[in-house]
A and B are shown apart, each in its own frame.
Chain A
Amino acid sequence: MAMKNRLNRRHFVYGSAAVASGLAGMPVAGAAQTPSPVVPGAFNESPLVAEQVAAGELPAVEERLPQSPMVLEPVEQIGTYGGDWDTATSSQGSGYEPRTMGYENLVRWKPGDITFTNEDVIPNVAESFEVNEDGSVYTFHLRPGMKWSDGHPFTSDDLMFWYEDIVMNPDISPVIPTWLSVNGEPVVLEAPDEVTVVFRFPGPNGLFLQRLATNVGEQPTAVPAHYLRQFHITHNPDVEAEAERQELADWMALFWQQAAWRENADVPVLFAWQMTTPIGDDPSRFIASRNPYYWKVDTEGNQLPYLDRIIYNVVTEPEVMLLQALNGELDLVTDYVNETQNTPLFFDNQEEGGFEMFEMTYTQQARTVISFNMVHQDQARREIFANKDFRIGLSHALDRQALIDAVYVGQGEPYQVGPRPESPFYNERLAKQFTEYDFDLANEHLDKVLPDKNGDGMRLGPDGEPFFFQIEFAAAFRSEWAAILDFSAQYWEQVGISMEPKSVERSLLEERRAGNLHDAMVWEGEGGMEVMLDPRWYFPHSVWSYFAVPWANWYQQGGLRGEIEVDDADIPMSEPSDAARRQMELFDEINRTADSDAQAELMNQILEIAADEFYCLGITLPTPGFGVTRNGFHNVQKPMTYAWLAQTPAFTNTCLYFESEP
């Protein structure tokens, strides 16, 4: 840790060699993870690669690996080389490829149970990293001798290219991504030497490491400078002409086309496999093959990955994919067909199909989140929806257990919209308040909002007409929503509230959301574990905080910094309530805090306010689902956590998978 001594200030040290457990009151990287295994003395390689080495096509394994390769402990056992990973994807470019062959960021989430806090971020492409005290300077130490899949060295020069020519190039990035800036001011990147990169933010950026570990952090280590410079106008003035020759709109289109590792087999990568039949070449499938320069080894020094190729069959029809899975033709099923309603099918066919089911835990905290538009365009409706008693009343009017029995065959527990019980941010009040089915209590609360009723017992709105609203939902996205809303409408009718479920196409839902035209909407409850990274249901944080889109827009556009005129905005925007504003301030405070405990403390305050405000209604906490592995396909982590922000299954180390029988 020579770097550590050279830096003349207090800082945190994370990494394989340094465990900063001695520094009191600071985030500890080593506590939650098993200590990294020692780098083995000698290395082995796949027989196929060894042939190429013998033929003089590739250098020896010691020269291909970095000086200190990343060492992975196999989940079950040391594997054997060879074989293909047969898998299926619903369409070309569905985002399944990065989650299986990709996810090589500077840092990553540790495999296993994750809580999505700083403690769970471990080094990956970077051999180690350090953070200064206030979380504004992040220093990454790359692995000396590490190479791209074409054998060209991977150095700090690649990251500088990413920073100078992509992030800071106004043609390519007119807007700096929010995770790379603080108060609108972009990060400054420095490369003191070939293996060191320093991210210097104008102020503290407390969630930077976590964001870098998610899918947004893919780009910095996915743009090989030595290949892409020839397509960048700063380095090659002829690209404009070349773009025109290829009938592309401009040189940026050419650049992105060349940088797209899923569609372009020529761009070098750091992944365990590289596309050899890229997306778009063969309509029925695409194939990724072993990267002989991959920089990870197992504990016995075998260069990873074990499997030669990943074969992605494009199967557009879900029923066909289901049949393939039941036939045991797919080595691992984590997506698309492992739905709850297929559980008995898979269970009955385990023996015959030669596969095994395993538990898959989801990070969602709800399958159904009902958001009432608290910032409705219509004054009268706004007042009703924003009235907490209205929402409490409707919540008490729902018999959640009966809903769970009817729709989820009894699987699940009554739950509102709050972090999952296994999350460190679990807040019992937020999760459980107002979940008991109590008819009288429901009426009591509703009487405070809409006391007048007509002869049929239906409550009258301020205009004297029976009060009526719609809940919009995308039926195609989750089939159970129609049933849940039908049941809810019946329960609410008993307390005198008339609701109509309205199924709309997903794009229309999005348009109506953007225009703030909805009464109420249903979506899934993301962020059950990723509490700080996706707090959309806990306060008006993102454009998908359906309960208060105009407030979220205000926040996103820098309302707290006083940079905007609400009246001039071309998107729905208004000043948030005091409580929401306080939450926004607290969340900005999290961004300005590097200390994990302090972040947790602030987030808990946000969640307390969320519990006070009770923004949206939940029905049930999702129970674990299942995934499927073919017998003879090994090193799959069981149970597996399913999270987009961790790129499941990639974060469980897919390079360790191997086959004992084809």
Chain B
Amino acid sequence: MREYVIRRLLLMIPTLLAISLVSFIIIQLPPGDYLTSVITSAATRGETIDEAELAQLEARYGLDQPMIVQYFSWLGGIVRGDFGYSFEYSRPVGELIWDRLGWSFVISFLSLIFVWAVAFPLGVFSAVRQYSWGDYITAFFGFIGLATPDFLLALLLLYISFAWFNQSVGGLFSPEFIDAAWSWARFGDLLQHLWVPLVILGTNGIAGLTRIMRANLLDELRKPYVTTARAKGVSEAKLTLKYPVRIAANPFISSSGGLLAGLISGEVIVAVVLSLPTTGPLLLGALQAQDMYLAASFIMLLSVLTLFGVLLSDIALAWFDPRIRFDR
């Protein structure tokens, strides 16, 4: 088991290097750089910038160097824990991202728990009670959940709370708690806000995992050992939970790694709509302004987060299923 984990950790290094290179290149692909966005916003405001001032800014931000030099100085910095400098915020990237990454992680992780907690029993239920009313209702909402994009759900929720409750959602705290110290009241306030992104983010995953669980369990339930056990008079609950559910849960766990990646990227979009204090709004702004070190560092760290999520789900699977653990 330890060997397996170490091997996986070592494999992450080349993956991360590749991600850093790709994310840096992708950010540089659109025409122009941070200066271009400075110029275009100045054009909107009716200010004048002459070429001499531009040259000055270019040198100040180190944008006159070739891309490969910029990449390696950024990468070299990351190894030392320095993520570069945000042009837009005129402060080091490191100061800007950790809080937001923390919230992104919390929300993604809680959504994952939420998805599991709901999808698992629902999947078992709809397999055991196949073609019942409950199964149909689960399937109905499941397909709607699968088909509705996160951001649309978020917008719908926003509209409903405006039209019927005359209040706006968004954010993670009520205004009076934003600057308050942690307390039970503040925690309660957080929970009141937190369920909104969790539900929005979770819907898609719940729908998918419920279907996977249902299909796998149905396969198992038709196997002869189940019939035998039933014939021998094993109680229905024990019969279902002891073997078929355990085996059916295998793909359930393995697909969670991919689910986490989806949750993290979905979180970025939903956070923009709901104005959450997570990576989303900042990453979007950084990409629009071509604030490249900020954007690249975000993408890099979100990828690291996803990689670790996948690793954890693989470890869980290995722990859960001996066949994977011993197979090299």
Of B1-9, B90-98, B219-227, B242-250, the one with at least 4 CB within 8 A of chain A: B90-98
A247 contacts B92, C-beta separation under 8 Å: yes
Of B41-49, B113-121, B314-322, the one with at least 4 CB within 8 A of chain A: B41-49
Query: Are A256 and B158 CB-contacts (below 8 A) given A175-B52, A175-B53?
Result: no
Query: Can you list 21 A-B contacts (CB < 8 A)?
Result: A174-B59, A215-B45, A215-B47, A249-B62, A257-B90, A260-B90, A314-B275, A317-B273, A317-B275, A320-B168, A324-B168, A326-B162, A329-B168, A507-B31, A507-B32, A507-B36, A507-B37, A507-B40, A523-B43, A534-B46, A543-B49
Residue in chain A with minimal CB distance to B50: A556
Could you say which interface size class chain A belongs to? Answer: 35 or more
CA distance A326 to B41 in the complex (A): 28
Kindly list chain B residues whose C-beta atoms are within 8 Å of the C-beta of A319: 155, 158, 273
Cβ-neighbour of A327 out of B39, B166, B280 (below 8 A): B166
Residue in chain A with minimal CB distance to B48: A542
- In the complex, which residues 259-308 of chain A have their Cβ closer than 8 Å to any Cβ of chain B? 260, 263, 277, 279-280, 282-285
Kindly list chain A residues whose C-beta atoms are within 8 Å of the C-beta of B273: 317, 319-320
Beyond A506-B40, A510-B32: 13 further Cβ-contacts under 8 Å?
A95-B41, A173-B56, A249-B85, A263-B91, A282-B179, A283-B100, A283-B282, A285-B178, A319-B155, A507-B30, A510-B31, A534-B48, A543-B51
Query: Are A248 and B92 CB-contacts (below 8 A) given A285-B178, A316-B272?
Result: yes
Query: Are A282 and B178 CB-contacts (below 8 A) given A215-B47, A323-B158, A507-B31?
Result: yes
A327 contacts B275, C-beta separation under 8 Å: no
- In the complex, which residues 320-337 of chain A have their Cβ closer than 8 Å to any Cβ of chain B? 320, 323-324, 326-327, 329
CA distance A556 to B166 in the complex (A): 54
Kindly list chain B residues whose C-beta atoms are within 8 Å of the C-beta of A524: 44
Kindly list chain B residues whose C-beta atoms are within 8 Å of the C-beta of A177: 53
For residue A557, CB closer than 8 A to chain B, the reply is yes
Query: Are A263 and B85 CB-contacts (below 8 A) given A174-B56, A277-B179, A507-B40?
Result: no
For residue A553, CB closer than 8 A to chain B, the reply is yes
B46 contacts A644, C-beta separation under 8 Å: yes
- In the complex, which residues 514-557 of chain A have their Cβ closer than 8 Å to any Cβ of chain B? 523-524, 526-527, 530, 533-534, 542-544, 553, 556-557
- Distance in Å: Cβ of A214 to nearest Cβ of chain B: 8
CA distance A246 to B30 in the complex (A): 31
For residue A87, CB closer than 8 A to chain B, the reply is no
Residue in chain A with minimal CB distance to B96: A280
Residue in chain B with minimal CB distance to A326: B162
- Distance in Å: Cβ of B184 to nearest Cβ of chain A: 22
B85 contacts A323, C-beta separation under 8 Å: no
Cβ-neighbour of A543 out of B50, B60, B88, B178 (below 8 A): B50
Kindly list chain B residues whose C-beta atoms are within 8 Å of the C-beta of A173: 56
- Distance in Å: Cβ of A622 to nearest Cβ of chain B: 15
Residue in chain B with minimal CB distance to A257: B90
For residue B197, CB closer than 8 A to chain A, the reply is no
For residue B277, CB closer than 8 A to chain A, the reply is yes
- In the complex, which residues 157-207 of chain A have their Cβ closer than 8 Å to any Cβ of chain B? 173-175, 177-178
For residue A377, CB closer than 8 A to chain B, the reply is no
B275 contacts A316, C-beta separation under 8 Å: yes
Kindly list chain A residues whose C-beta atoms are within 8 Å of the C-beta of B49: 543
B46 contacts A645, C-beta separation under 8 Å: yes
Kindly list chain A residues whose C-beta atoms are within 8 Å of the C-beta of B36: 507, 510-511
Mark interface residues in A207-226 (1 if CB within 8 Å of B CB, else 0).
00000001110000000000
Kindly list chain B residues whose C-beta atoms are within 8 Å of the C-beta of A260: 90
Query: Which 5 A-B pairs rank lowest in CB-CB distance, beginning with the nearest?
Result: A507-B32, A283-B277, A644-B45, A316-B281, A175-B52
For residue A508, CB closer than 8 A to chain B, the reply is yes
Cβ-neighbour of A256 out of B46, B90, B99 (below 8 A): B90
For residue A92, CB closer than 8 A to chain B, the reply is yes
Mark interface residues in B269-307 (1 if CB within 8 Å of A CB, else 0).
000111111101110110000100000000000000000
- In the complex, which residues 53-99 of chain B have their Cβ closer than 8 Å to any Cβ of chain A? 53, 55-56, 59-60, 62, 77, 82, 85, 88-92, 95-96, 99
A557 contacts B168, C-beta separation under 8 Å: no
How many residues from B make CB contacts under 8 Å with A?
62
Query: Are A505 and B166 CB-contacts (below 8 A) given A543-B51, A571-B51?
Result: no
- Distance in Å: Cβ of A248 to nearest Cβ of chain B: 7
- Distance in Å: Cβ of B271 to nearest Cβ of chain A: 9
For residue A93, CB closer than 8 A to chain B, the reply is yes
Query: Are A263 and B159 CB-contacts (below 8 A) given A317-B273, A327-B168?
Result: no
Kindly list chain B residues whose C-beta atoms are within 8 Å of the C-beta of A285: 178
For residue B145, CB closer than 8 A to chain A, the reply is no
For residue B266, CB closer than 8 A to chain A, the reply is no
For residue B132, CB closer than 8 A to chain A, the reply is no
B275 contacts A505, C-beta separation under 8 Å: no
Residue in chain B with minimal CB distance to A253: B85
CA distance A455 to B49 in the complex (A): 48
Kindly list chain A residues whose C-beta atoms are within 8 Å of the C-beta of B96: 280
Kindly list chain A residues whose C-beta atoms are within 8 Å of the C-beta of B282: 92, 283
Kindly list chain B residues whose C-beta atoms are within 8 Å of the C-beta of A499: none
CA distance A283 to B89 in the complex (A): 12
CA distance A311 to B178 in the complex (A): 12
CA distance A95 to B48 in the complex (A): 16
Cβ-neighbour of B51 out of A257, A324, A477, A557 (below 8 A): A557
A175 contacts B179, C-beta separation under 8 Å: no
For residue A650, CB closer than 8 A to chain B, the reply is no
For residue A315, CB closer than 8 A to chain B, the reply is yes
Query: Are A93 and B88 CB-contacts (below 8 A) given A177-B53, A510-B40?
Result: yes
CA distance A232 to B103 in the complex (A): 37
CA distance A556 to B90 in the complex (A): 29
For residue A252, CB closer than 8 A to chain B, the reply is yes
CA distance A317 to B55 in the complex (A): 34
- Distance in Å: Cβ of A573 to nearest Cβ of chain B: 10
- Distance in Å: Cβ of A585 to nearest Cβ of chain B: 18
- In the complex, which residues 86-138 of chain B have their Cβ closer than 8 Å to any Cβ of chain A? 88-92, 95-96, 99-100
For residue A80, CB closer than 8 A to chain B, the reply is no
Kindly list chain B residues whose C-beta atoms are within 8 Å of the C-beta of A542: 48
Cβ-neighbour of B281 out of A283, A507, A553 (below 8 A): A283
For residue B202, CB closer than 8 A to chain A, the reply is no
Residue in chain A with minimal CB distance to B273: A317
Kindly list chain A residues whose C-beta atoms are within 8 Å of the C-beta of B175: 311
Query: Are A556 and B51 CB-contacts (below 8 A) given A249-B62, A314-B281, A329-B168?
Result: yes
Query: Are A505 and B30 CB-contacts (below 8 A) given A216-B47, A316-B285, A327-B166?
Result: yes
Indicate the member of A91, A279, A327 with the most B CB atoms within 10 Å. A91
For residue B170, CB closer than 8 A to chain A, the reply is yes
- Distance in Å: Cβ of B63 to nearest Cβ of chain A: 12
CA distance A326 to B162 in the complex (A): 9
Query: Are A327 and B50 CB-contacts (below 8 A) given A263-B91, A277-B179, A282-B277?
Result: no
A280 contacts B40, C-beta separation under 8 Å: no
B285 contacts A91, C-beta separation under 8 Å: yes
For residue A155, CB closer than 8 A to chain B, the reply is no
Cβ-neighbour of A283 out of B88, B90, B159, B278 (below 8 A): B278
CA distance A615 to B118 in the complex (A): 65
- Distance in Å: Cβ of A278 to nearest Cβ of chain B: 10
Mark interface residues in B163-207 (1 if CB within 8 Å of A CB, else 0).
000111011100100110000000000000000000000000000
CA distance A549 to B77 in the complex (A): 40
Cβ-neighbour of A178 out of B32, B50, B168 (below 8 A): B50
Kindly list chain B residues whose C-beta atoms are within 8 Å of the C-beta of A178: 48, 50
CA distance A263 to B159 in the complex (A): 33
Kindly list chain A residues whose C-beta atoms are within 8 Å of the C-beta of B47: 214-216, 644-645
A92 contacts B89, C-beta separation under 8 Å: yes
For residue A313, CB closer than 8 A to chain B, the reply is yes
Kindly list chain A residues whose C-beta atoms are within 8 Å of the C-beta of B50: 178, 543, 556-557
Cβ-neighbour of B45 out of A91, A95, A256, A315 (below 8 A): A95
Query: Are A507 and B284 CB-contacts (below 8 A) given A178-B50, A253-B85?
Result: no
- Distance in Å: Cβ of A218 to nearest Cβ of chain B: 11
A510 contacts B39, C-beta separation under 8 Å: yes
Kindly list chain A residues whose C-beta atoms are within 8 Å of the C-beta of B178: 282, 284-285
